[in-house]
Amino acid sequence: MRGDQINLQNIVARSASITPSPQVRQGGVEQVTKLIDVSVCIGCKACQVACMEWNNTRDEVGHCHGVYDNPIDLTAESFEVMRFSEYENEEGDLEWLIRKDNCMHCAEPGCLKACPAPGAIVQYANGIVDFNSEHCIGCGYCRAGCPFDIPRYSERDNKAYKCTLCSDRVYHGLEPACVKTCPTSAIMFGTREDMLDYGAHRVEHLKGRGYENAGIYNPAGVGGTHVVYVLQHADKPEIYSGLAKDPQISPAVEAWKGITKPIMSAVLGASVLAGFFHYVTKGPKEEPEDDPDPENAGRAREIDRHDGEDRP
Amino acid sequence: MSVRVSRRSFLKLGAAGLGASSMAMMGFAPEQALASIRHFKLTGSTMTRNICTYCSVGCGMLLYTRGDGAINVIDQVYHVEGDPDHPVSRGSLCPRGAGVLDFINSETRVKYPEVREPFTNEWKRISWDEALDRIARHMKDDRDRNFETHDDKGQLVNRWLTTSMVAASACTNETAYLTQKIARALGMLVVDNQARV
Amino acid sequence: MTNHWVDIRNANVILSMGGNSAEAHPVGFRWVMHAKERNNAILISVDPRYNRTTAVADVHAWLRTGTDIVWLGGLINYLIETGRFHHEYVRAYTDASHLVEEGFGFDDGLFVGYDPETRTYDKTNWNYQKDEQGFVVTDPTLEHPRCVFQLMRQHYSRYTVDMVEQVCGMPRKKVLQIWDLIAQTSAPDKTMTILYALGWTQHTIGSQIIRTGAMVQLLLGNMGMPGGGVNALRGHSNIQGLTDIGLLSNLLTGYMGLPAAELQRYEDYMKVRTKQPLLPGEVSYWKHYDRFFISLMKDWYGDLATAENDWLYDWLPKLSQPLYDVLYAINQAAKGEMTGTICQGFNILASFPHKDKVLEGLSKLKYFVIMDPLEVETGEFWKNYGEYNPVDPATIGTEVFRLPTTCFAEDDGSITNSSRWLQWHVKAAPGPGESQTDMAILAGLMMRLKKLYQDEGGAFPDPILNLTWNYTNPWHPESEALAKEANGRALRDITDETGKVIKRAGELLDDFSQLRADGSTACGCWIYTGSFTEAGNMMARRDNADPYGVGTTLGWAWAWPANRRLMYNRASARPDGTPWASNKAYIWWNGERWIGADVPDYPIFTPPSAGVGPFIVTQTGTGHFFASEQLNDGPFPEHYEPMESPIDRNPLHPDNPLAFHNPIVRVFPSDRDHFGTNDEFPYAATTYRLTEHFHFWTTHALLNAIVQPEKFIEIGEVLAAELGIAQGERVRVTSKRGLIEAVAVVTKRMVPLQVDGRTVHQIGIPLHYGFKGVARPAHLTNSLTPFVGDGNTQTPEFKSFLVNVEKL
């Protein structure tokens, strides 16, 4: 958790960039991980409040939708929300499963791969995937590329936002705001090794209490995540308000993987540049037809539609 | 002794390498360098230890204020987080405590003494002197009119039952003690607090 | 709390009942989760709702609101009949062996001495038998038919599992599963803690529910034990402190009582209040009442208070009824018999039951003063807020003053948490605008009153003119000066038995054993003595070391009494002075003195062989199953139905209408017409807090408004389907007293219960939201609640009443 894990020298991946980041000083940096133990969470939303307080965001005062969830979904000002689901198990007993939903900080981040704006999304050597808002062009591809549907677009400044894992705090040797405030230690933070050890211990504890399928959620499809869950029913992640069972980066986004290949870079560079000019001349929203990949374009169209619904 | 901690001792307390807060200081051009990492917002602030005002767990709080107490500045609390030294809360705060900043700085804080005259529909701003003079006059008039030295059985009771006092739930013990002392000296019995409610 | 927050982690079983600590005290609740992690503890949640505590509980059961005594009484019966109680503890440390007077009895739902006219009990016979010397007669075999153990056994024999199932609506299998888990803590190396809050308190039988919980803990040997105790989770940050300071109608500081009018002579008052031991050699700490009382009067009136004038006893106001509580105050106001009200940071319009009646009362006052940091509803009771407060200001003649006060971030001082810790805090910034501290406002008023009485004379000015006021700046008393005053100081040199001077005149006292009954000490609040000594402000201490690893941090802040963290901790050791179990070692006798992790709650050099009981505040040194005259509605708790019940009889006493509701419940005549019946209002409702909000304050805090923006009610899926209500639709809830409208949260977490042959649906109504602040405006929940109080404390019955629900 040393502060020097996040700095220019320690960026391991950068969106839509042609030149590689400096690599030499990445050795010895510890990977960090946030562990969310759903079995200990009481759904108090302290994390949501601390997140807004630290990040100086204030979402709308919305409405009650007949459930405890509020705000009802992630927004550009709510980087995380608690999702409540009432689940009746095989024995017919009621379980109230409460999951903190926020960026998973994937080891192979789909958002970063999908992002056409150079340097708008970066991944640090410690595992944090951060949005560099200065460079964001507001195209929304990051959301399309995210297997967890996390980033949200702000109409105020036409940029995308998500949890930064409090990179500003972590840089200064502190834990993220949600972690610090959590009343029941449902959210823990530390090196990846320590968190996976602690998670394994918690899983054993839960098994001892009869949760035979307890496990750690650290999906391989995205190379593992720097936010992991301890679930009582790891065999059925979908019962936790639709947590993806086997998240994968969409094949369309995988196409962007060529990003670092020299042969592609010129083409991509041109395409990104084209997108950028489009942004400058026509506004923040990328028109789907501008996308070189037809499937990607379809996704982007879908996002536009959703965004329209989300906003009053 | 004040436990309000100065910036210097805050640094000494080891709350991370605050000196290196700005990437720009390290020679990077901001937009290239890492605009993605927000400037650390606690750098240079004053930290004061407090206890949460909401429930009875009594969590430790760190209040971060803008301003260093110099005479030319009006300090303002701009961030609150948990006190990791506190044996009960160990740095945690619940959603109420974590949001206490918006209570402290609420737009609906009362800022001036006001009066609503009988049968009117508005607040009128008045001075402290006017407010306390008028209230004291009401109290004395009522006490003089309705003070009972004896009850109907002729027993000495020395009490004032026609003005009641309901006390707070979050004021300090010292305030509570002053209230108790004054209320009984005035002979008040209709005194209650927010326990049980 | 008899124990403290961190101590919860020492428990093996945690019973969360009459409270929802995860919701109301999330950070305190961390220690429940620690207990689960450390000790593999079992968390049991018994509640009308499946709530946030239940979400992480190991076992849970739905209970009909207001039937806790039946469930706990059934548990007492189960523990006794199965023999699964802590035999040695019960024999040695409780009043089980004490014989009760022959005249005491219980028949068809009423104890001996009931007068239906006055609706009160004559408690003369509710007492222990005494011998010629005035000591209690005991039978250590526990077999005498008049001993407390046998009477208790007989009393609860009616509380069978079938009765529990019938009254509480809980399936017997579930009942027995939970009782079995609880009974395991009768072992000396296992403890259960009970965490309760207003879910037990806010009933017409609230005090007795709590007592039943305490009796269970005595039977299991869990009092005085780490990880045990009966833990009231106080609601507000300093409501413990305000109660300690005695800001209740009938109290002085430190739980001393104001005198009743009948006690005209000081000697009579002292006779009633001074508690002499009822068994030979017992401590009976209240025998020192005169020391506490005289020191208080010396603090208030200084040199004027002398032995010759009975320490100015005559100057104290005297009571003609047990309490002049908030319900009384509002009732008087509604009758037009109250002139003014001073409201210090208390949103009474929103917090009291039957909002319309509160409104009526406030509207009839001549003057009303509200001191508050926020623009709360109460200050604007006269203002029209449409459907939420439909009043006509032109008809309301109350003169209203609104005074801006600072909040916690803007003043210095101590507040007392639920663990009885006095924690000092420091001002971080000035308050907004012209806001002032409460102390400056109170001092401003008192200085003016002193001057007015000086200049004009008036009714009995003596206590006003002579009240001590030794503050450096009389208009702005400092917190530290008040804290020292509460702690107490020597007025003359004080000596010990040998004549050695232990305190010089003017010095602050170290502990309440230094208080004197001869006028040589002044002390504002005897239980706070030791909080601010010559060594400094003990409440500001910050050493969080826990040398024994049991979660006791004696160097952090200061706890009353005497910095003791766990009350009755002598009971954590066997009669011979060794711990009951090595994993529960807390304090013990080392051959010379008591030592261990805490300040012993016991005379420190009294050896186990002396046989002095561990409960040093009681007159017998034992824990009491039998409450004698302490409570108004009986020495053993008995179940009575809420004033508004979803069933038509008390199944325990089906044929005695006098025993349907609490026979001594106080109802003002004008409120009789405001109770509903279950034909008109078929659903049992209960009110509560949400974790995102704190009463009506956080509706002014944007962050909290965002995460829970709008008023809702909780309704089970079955009832919602019957009424055609879908999730998120708006509903109207009505009671005999008013209505609210809210969004429906339709949930599996509330289910219909089978009670006394019928189906009972329960409705959950959060307390929060009003017409001020930044959350969505709403009707006040207390538009619905009944104006009736507990038989002992007059706490309103917010937790059980009847409503109807319709879709809008």
DSSP labels, C711-757: -EEEEEHHHHHHHTPPTT-EEEEEETTEEEEEEEEEETT---EEETT
pLDDT for residue A286 is more than 80? no
- C418–chain B Cβ distance below 8 A for any pair: yes
pLDDT for C41: 98
Q: In chain C, which residues have their Cβ closer than 8 Å to the Cβ of B65? A: 428-429
Distance of alpha carbon B74 from alpha carbon B97, whole angstroms: 24
Which subunits sit against C, judged by 3+ Cβ pairs under 8 A? Answer: A, B
Q: Cβ distance A245 to A239 under 8 Å?
A: no
Distance of alpha carbon C591 from alpha carbon C605, whole angstroms: 9
- C408–chain B Cβ distance below 8 A for any pair: yes
CATH number, domain C657-807: 2.40.40.20
Q: Cβ distance C782 to B197 under 8 Å?
A: no
Q: Looking at the partner chain, which of A44, A132, A172 has a beta carbon nearest the beta carbon of B94?
A: A44
Gap between the terminal Cα atoms of chain A: 41
pLDDT for residue C182 is more than 60? yes
Q: Residue C457 class from Cβ within 10 Å (0-12 exposed, 13-18 middle, 19+ buried)?
A: exposed
The C-alpha angle with vertex C413 and arms to C410 and C419, in degrees rounded to 5, equals: 120
- B31–chain A Cβ distance below 8 A for any pair: yes
pLDDT for C705: 98
CB contact under 8 A, B193 and C246: no
Pairing verdict, β B60-66 and B76-82: antiparallel
Distance of alpha carbon A240 from alpha carbon A99, whole angstroms: 6
* DSSP structure string for A219-244: -GGGT-BSEEEEETTTT-GGGTTS--
Question: What number of residues does chain A have?
Answer: 312
Pairing verdict, β C712-716 and C738-747: parallel
The C-alpha angle with vertex A100 and arms to A99 and A105, in degrees rounded to 5, equals: 120
> Distance of alpha carbon C270 from its chain centroid, rounded?
26
Kindly report the nearest CA distance between residue B113 and chain C, in angstroms: 5
pLDDT for residue A143 is more than 90? yes
pLDDT for residue C779 is more than 90? yes
Pick the more confident residue, C288 or B168: C288
pLDDT for C264: 98
Q: What residue type is assigned to position B4 of the chain?
A: R
Confidence of residue C473 (pLDDT cuts 50, 70, 90): very high
Q: Looking at the partner chain, which of C55, C706, C744 has a beta carbon nearest the beta carbon of A61?
A: C706
Residue C495 backbone phi and psi in degrees, to 5: -120, 160
Q: Cβ distance C351 to C687 under 8 Å?
A: no
Which subunits sit against A, judged by 3+ Cβ pairs under 8 A? Answer: B, C
Q: Cβ distance C2 to C566 under 8 Å?
A: yes
Torsion of CA C47, C51, C56, C57, to 10 degrees: 10
Give me the mean pLDDT over the C50-63 stretch. Answer: 97
> Distance of alpha carbon A75 from its chain centroid, rounded?
13
Taking alpha carbons only, the member of C26, C9, C3, C13 closest to residue C691 is C26
Taking alpha carbons only, the member of B101, B41, C45, C579 closest to residue A94 is C45
Token pair recorded at residue C415: 């507040």
Q: Which of B1-15, B151-165, C253-267, C544-558 has the lowest mean pLDDT?
A: B1-15
pLDDT for residue A310 is more than 80? no
Confidence of residue C378 (pLDDT cuts 50, 70, 90): very high
Quick one: three-class SS letters along C237-250?
A: CCHHHHHHCCCCCC
pLDDT for B197: 80
- B80–chain A Cβ distance below 8 A for any pair: yes
Q: What DSSP element (H or E) covers A13? A: strand A11-14
Please, which residues have CB within 8 angstroms of residue C235's CB and are 6 or more apart in sequence?
B55, B56, B169, B194, B195, C24, C197, C198, C689
Q: What residue type is assigned to position A208 of the chain?
A: G
Query: What burial letters (b/e) apply to C501-525, b meaning 16+ CB within 10 Å?
Result: eebeeeebbbbbebbbbebbbbbbb
Q: In chain C, which residues have their Cβ closer than 8 Å to the Cβ of A68? A: 708, 745
The residues that bridge with C807 in the sheet, in sequence order, are: C731
Pick the more confident residue, C51 or A30: C51
* Alpha helix ranges (H) inside C457-559: 462-466, 479-487
CB contact under 8 A, C27 and B112: no
Q: What residue type is assigned to position A161 of the chain?
A: Y
Confidence of residue C209 (pLDDT cuts 50, 70, 90): very high
Percent of chain A clearing pLDDT 90 (strictly above): 67
Q: Cβ distance A146 to A111 under 8 Å?
A: yes
Gap between the terminal Cα atoms of chain C: 44
Q: What residue type is assigned to position C235 of the chain?
A: G
Give me the mean pLDDT over the A161-188 stretch. Answer: 96
Using one digit for the tens of pLDDT, what is the confidence trace for C649-692?
A: 999 999 999 999 999 999 999 999 999 999 999 999 999 999 99
Where along chain B do its domains lie? 7-104, 147-197
Q: Looking at the partner chain, which of C249, C417, C437 has a beta carbon nearest the beta carbon of B190?
A: C249
Give me the mean pLDDT over the A105-129 stretch. Answer: 94
pLDDT for A9: 65
pLDDT for B23: 34
pLDDT for A29: 79
Residue C705 backbone phi and psi in degrees, to 5: -65, -35
Q: In chain B, which residues have their Cβ closer than 8 Å to the Cβ of A132? A: 34-36
pLDDT for residue C714 is more than 60? yes
C548: left (phi over 0), alpha (psi -120 to 50) or beta: alpha
Q: Cβ distance B115 to C401 under 8 Å?
A: yes
Taking alpha carbons only, the member of C765, C746, C579 closest to residue C687 is C765
CATH number, domain C326-465: 3.40.50.740
Q: What are C's interface residues with A at a Cβ cutoff of 8 A?
A: 22-23, 26-27, 29-30, 33-34, 37, 40, 50, 52-56, 58, 691-692, 702-712, 726-729, 743-749, 774-776
Q: Cβ distance A195 to A33 under 8 Å?
A: yes
Give me the mean pLDDT over the A126-139 stretch. Answer: 93
pLDDT for residue A221 is more than 70? yes
| Chain A interface test: which of C25, C707, C712, C727 (most A C-beta within 10 Å) | C707
The C-alpha angle with vertex C746 and arms to C783 and C169, in degrees rounded to 5, equals: 80
B150-179 residues touching C, CB cutoff 8 A: 151, 153, 155-179
Domains of chain A: 31-102+166-239 (3.30.70.20)
Confidence of residue A4 (pLDDT cuts 50, 70, 90): low
Q: Cβ distance A23 to C670 under 8 Å?
A: no
Sign of the dihedral defined by the CA atoms of residues B53, B57, B62, B64, in that order: negative
CB contact under 8 A, B17 and A3: yes
Distance of alpha carbon A68 from alpha carbon A65, whole angstroms: 8
Which chain C residue's Cα is nearest to B77? Answer: C429
Q: Which of A120-134, A175-189, B17-31, B108-122 has the lowest mean pLDDT?
A: B17-31
* Alpha helix ranges (H) inside C83-188: 87-93, 148-156, 161-168, 172-183
Confidence of residue A251 (pLDDT cuts 50, 70, 90): confident
Where along chain C do its domains lie? 245-320+479-491+500-527, 326-465, 657-807
Taking alpha carbons only, the member of C447, C83, A183 closest to residue B97 is A183
pLDDT for residue C5 is more than 80? yes
pLDDT for residue A300 is more than 70? no
- Residue in the structure block whose two tokens are 């507040």: C415
Question: What number of residues does chain C have?
Answer: 808
Is this prediction's pTM over 0.80?
yes
pLDDT for A255: 66
pLDDT for residue A284 is more than 90? no
Confidence of residue A47 (pLDDT cuts 50, 70, 90): very high
Distance of alpha carbon B150 from alpha carbon B156, whole angstroms: 4
Task: Give the 3-state secondary structure of residue C62.
Answer: strand
Confidence of residue B156 (pLDDT cuts 50, 70, 90): very high
Mean pLDDT taken over chain C: 97
pLDDT for residue A146 is more than 80? yes
Taking alpha carbons only, the member of C649, C660, C648, C718 closest to residue C62 is C718
- CATH entry 3.40.50.720 includes domain B7-104: no
* DSSP structure string for C306-339: -TTTGGGGGGS--BSSS---HHHHHHHHHTT---
pLDDT for A17: 85
Q: Which of A87-101, A136-150, A294-308, B14-28 has the lowest mean pLDDT?
A: B14-28
Distance of alpha carbon C440 from alpha carbon C446, whole angstroms: 10
Confidence of residue A256 (pLDDT cuts 50, 70, 90): low
Cis peptide before C654 (omega within 30 of 0): no
Distance of alpha carbon A121 from alpha carbon B193, whole angstroms: 55
pLDDT for residue A282 is more than 50? no
pLDDT for residue C806 is more than 70? yes
Give me the mean pLDDT over the B114-125 stretch. Answer: 98
Confidence of residue A6 (pLDDT cuts 50, 70, 90): low
C427: left (phi over 0), alpha (psi -120 to 50) or beta: beta
Using one digit for the tens of pLDDT, what is the confidence trace for C339-360?
A: 999 999 999 999 999 999 999 9
DSSP state of C623: B
pLDDT for A244: 97
Sign of the dihedral defined by the CA atoms of residues C660, C666, C669, C675, in that order: negative
Q: Looking at the partner chain, which of C395, C411, C418 has a beta carbon nearest the beta carbon of B57?
A: C418
Gap between the terminal Cα atoms of chain B: 36
Distance of alpha carbon C329 from alpha carbon C338, whole angstroms: 8
Q: Which of A18-32, B26-40, C440-454 has the highest mean pLDDT?
A: C440-454
Distance of alpha carbon C662 from alpha carbon C111, whole angstroms: 12
> Per DSSP, which regions of C181-327 are E strands?
192-196, 230-232
Percent of chain B clearing pLDDT 70 (strictly above): 82
